[in-house]
Every structure is written in structure tokens, then in C-alpha cells.
Copies of this chain bind each other. A is one copy, B any other.
Amino acid sequence: MADNLAENGRKSARTPKHWALKDRLLAMVAAAGPGGPLPGERALAEGFGVSRTTVRKALTELMAEGRLTRVHGSGTYVGSGKVTQRLQLSSYTEDMRSHGLNPTSSLLEAAIEAAEPELAALLAVPAGADVLRLRRLRSADGEPMAIETSRLPLTRFPGLEARVGDTSLYRVLWEHYGVELGHAEETIETTLATPADAALLGNEVGAVMLRLSRHSFDTDNRPVEWVRSVYRGDRYKFVATLVSPREVE
């Protein structure tokens, strides 16, 4: 009872049908060129002799990899690759311009809240102290890029809520409070798009996202802000420069 079935067993990498489909779809992607259209899902299913469900699974994966864009009601198109975003303390606006992109930022929400214990610890204020919460939608060349929620201690920056306008937040901190950023701890992980994320970023619910959390300190090592942002995982990647600690172990 073990004569044929040569390629079986061995705990080797089984390849589901939807994964194999991706190779064939990538050929169509290459043929269509950037921005080009792909056939409809029903046509693909029939053409490849699989169910539409399987086609959709393959398309969803290619989308998560940034190779495709799906537009509800319209069609599926070849994606435009990922944009590299540098992890640094400099201003968002400056950074984008250096990539030749036109950055915009719209303030979705500005509210004062009482600090939860955890947040209070991060900002070095007593629990329940006033904290300014800012929620922004950042875009590049008109396309939504990230949702950013920052929180700053109002006890340290009294009146800041009235000064949040078009100018850079960091500029305001420097000019009105004499605060300059020294360093930050930035955490990166994956998440999935919530319905709110999806609505703002033109995404699908459950799409793969990159979540960045930044804890910024001034030059005196006092916490300045706590920021959490979500970026579309299919459109952005991040690069950081690491420097050697003087000791080599």
C-alpha cells in the first residue's frame, strides 16, 4: 500500500490551489502593466476552472502584497507597489516632500480627555490629568496614507489645544514651549483594518495594516507625546537606520 504517491508525505509544503493560482494571476498582472485592468472575478473563475471563492482568496492575497487594487463596483487593477517611509523624528511634511510627494494632513478630531492610568504613565502625568487627543488623516498626493492619533499632556503644554492649526505641531512645541525632541521609541507590528480604518483609508475591513506606536521624548528625556498610527500594509514599508553601540558584546 505504498507504491505510488511519490510526492506525498514528508511534512513537505503542501500548496493550496489558491496559492498556485497566484502564479498564473501574476502572469496576467505582468501582461496588463501598472494600473491595467484584470478580467472580472467570474470570468477568472471560469477561465481557470475554479470557484469564484478560490479566485477571490488568491486575489485577496495578491492585494495584501500590494500587487493588486480592487475597486468595488468597478474592477480589479494592477497595483503600484509600496512606498518607503523613513522612521525618523523629523516632521512628516518634510519627509514626504523629500520623496517628491505632496503631503496633506486633515484634523479629524481634537479633544481633551482624562488620562487612563496606562497613558498617564507613558506621559508622566497623574492619572486623570488632562490630555489632548489629536486624530489626523495623513495623505500623500491626495491619497489617504495613515491615520494618526497623538496624545500630549496639557499639564505641560497649557493652551496647546488652541494652537493646533495648520502649522507643524513640532514647530508649535518649539516656539511656544521651548520643547525640542530628543529621541523616540518606535514600535512596529501588524494589525487588521477596523471598519473605521477601512472607511478612512479606502480599504477593506480586515486588510493587513502596519501599526506604529511612537513614544517621543524631549532633549531632557521627558515624555512629549504618545502616537499611534496605522498604515496600509499593501502600500507602505518602513526603513530605519541602525547604528552600532560602541561595545561589540
Show the binding face of A for B, using Cβ within 8 Å.
11-16, 18-19, 57, 61, 64-65, 82, 84, 87-91, 94, 170-171, 174, 180-192, 194-196, 198-199, 205-206, 208, 210, 219, 233-234, 236-245, 248-249
Please indicate the chain B residues that have their CB under 8 angstroms from the CB of A245 in the complex: 88-90
Chain B hits for A239, CB < 8 A: 185-188
Asked if B65 and A196 sit within 8 Å, CB to CB, the answer is no
Task: Give the Cβ gap from A247 to chain B, nearest Cβ, in Å.
Answer: 9
Option from B87, B186, B233, B242 in Cβ contact (under 8 Å) with A189:
B233
Q: Which residues of chain B come closer than 8 Å to A233, judged between CB atoms?
A: 189-190, 208
Which of A64, A87, A187, A188 has the most chain B CB atoms inside 10 A of its CB?
Answer: A188
Find the B residue at minimum CB distance from A174.
Answer: B248
Given A14-B205, A184-B241, output 16 extra A-B contacts at Cβ < 8 Å: A16-B205, A64-B192, A82-B189, A89-B242, A89-B244, A170-B248, A182-B243, A183-B241, A183-B244, A186-B240, A186-B242, A189-B210, A189-B236, A189-B237, A208-B233, A240-B242
Let me know if B237 and A188 touch, CB within 8 A: yes
Instruction: Report 22 cross-chain contacts, Cβ distance below 8 Å, ordered by A residue.
Output: A13-B194, A14-B195, A14-B205, A16-B205, A65-B191, A82-B189, A84-B187, A87-B242, A181-B248, A182-B243, A183-B244, A184-B241, A185-B240, A187-B237, A188-B188, A188-B210, A188-B237, A188-B238, A190-B190, A190-B208, A190-B233, A190-B234
Q: Which residues of B contact A249 (CB under 8 A)?
A: 90-91, 94, 171
Verify A238–B189 contact, CB threshold 8 A.
yes
- Chain B residues within an 8 Å CB radius of A210: 188-190
This chain's copy number in the assembly: 2
The 10 closest A-B pairs by CB, nearest first: A189-B237, A13-B195, A190-B233, A13-B199, A187-B239, A184-B242, A240-B240, A188-B238, A15-B195, A183-B243
Chain B nearest CB from A57 CB (Å) reads: 8
Give which listed residue, B65, B84, B196, B248, contacts A192 with CB less than 8 A.
B65
A17 to chain B, nearest CB (A): 11
**Distance A196 CA – B11 CA, assembled complex (angstroms):** 11
Closest to A16 in B: B205
